[in-house]
Amino acid sequence: MKRDDTPGPADEIRPGDWNSGPWDGSDGSSGEDRPREPAATLDGLRERIRQGETARPDRAGGGAGHAGDDDDGVFGTGGGGFARGSGRRGGGSRRERRDRRQGGRGRGWSPDGPQEGSPASQGPDADPEAVARAICLRLLTMAPKTRAQLAEALRKREVPEAAAQAVLERFSEVGLIDDEAFAAAWVSSRHIGRGLARRALAQELRHRGVEEETVKEAVDRLDPEQELETARALVARKLAATRGADPKTRTRRLAGMLARKGYSPGLAFRVVREALEAEGMETDDLPEEFG
């Protein structure tokens, strides 16, 4: 406190006065530079505060709200100030903040539309074909799909059959659904990436609803010589890991690995024998087939 004279009883600062004015410099100035209020004025201010005629919102969020509070619960309701538990401007639960970032799409929404029974589902029914198009486009954006896969997805979401077929036909016409192209790409990528043979590739395509004629055309494009070279490469990569076992065990392990990838028993044992003979191992007693 900066004074030139000695304080007297009339202007002596009492302990209660520290709670009745902005002594902490919250308005940008220090307490020393601020002229002191007369004791009578301070006493009057304290009395008005006690009577509720003047109120300052609590910094921690207590007390009544003020004109800046929202009515939608973003900043809480009643005496909550900022939303309870958030600890940050904007308030609300983590889920509510995420929903606001997603354009207000809140509870009751699923990727394919509002959930049944939610407030969002109380509006007029959506056009079934529009729903089917949205579902198919979302699935095709994630990964290529066959027509059968898309039809199954629409059935699971209870899209009417007529609307589903209309959308699938339209997507086929414009080339968004092309099972022939899907099958050709599948065979190429899975053979190169996983070393799968024609039998395994055909099984995978059938599982995805590709018609048998399309499956046959796709796998027949795989060159038998390429299939043989891929089998040899697979055995060469696994050969070193089997060198601690006896010849029969090595043969079964390597041939079994090829069988799981769709290679026929005859081709599998042929490739394994070649690899073991290249190491100088006798193969006369090796099995000719699984047993």
- Output the pLDDT for position 174: 94
Average pLDDT of every residue of the chain: 74
pLDDT value of position 96:
61
Q: How many angstroms separate the Cα of 246 from the Cα of each of 12, 139, 235, 278? A: 102, 49, 16, 16
Distance CA 264, CA 273 (A): 14
Determine the pLDDT at residue 243. Answer: 86
Q: Please give the model's pTM, rounded to 2 decimal places.
A: 0.56
E-state strands within the chain: 109-110, 113-114
What does each of the 291 residues of the chain score in pLDDT, given as a tens digit?
Answer: 444 455 444 444 455 444 444 444 444 444 455 555 555 566 666 666 666 654 444 444 444 444 334 443 333 334 333 334 444 444 556 666 665 555 544 445 455 555 666 655 555 567 899 999 999 999 999 999 999 999 999 999 999 999 999 999 999 999 999 999 999 999 999 999 999 999 999 999 999 999 999 999 999 999 999 999 999 999 999 999 988 888 888 888 999 999 999 999 999 999 998 998 888 777 666 656 554
Q: What's the DSSP call for residue 8?
A: -
pLDDT at 46: 66
Residue pair 70/46 in contact (Cβ under 8 Å)? The answer is: no
- Tell me the pLDDT tens digit for each residue of 72-103: 333 333 433 333 444 444 455 666 666 555 55
**Exposure class string for 200-212: b at 16+ Cβ within 10 A, else e:** bbbebbeebebbe
Between CA 226 and CA 53 the distance in angstroms is: 91
DSSP assignment of 9-70:
GGGPPPGGGGGSS-TT-TTSS-TTTSPPPPHHHHHHHHHHHHTTSS----TTS-S---TT--
pLDDT value at position 279?
84
Please name every residue paired with 109 in a beta bridge, in sequence order, or none if there are none. Answer: 114
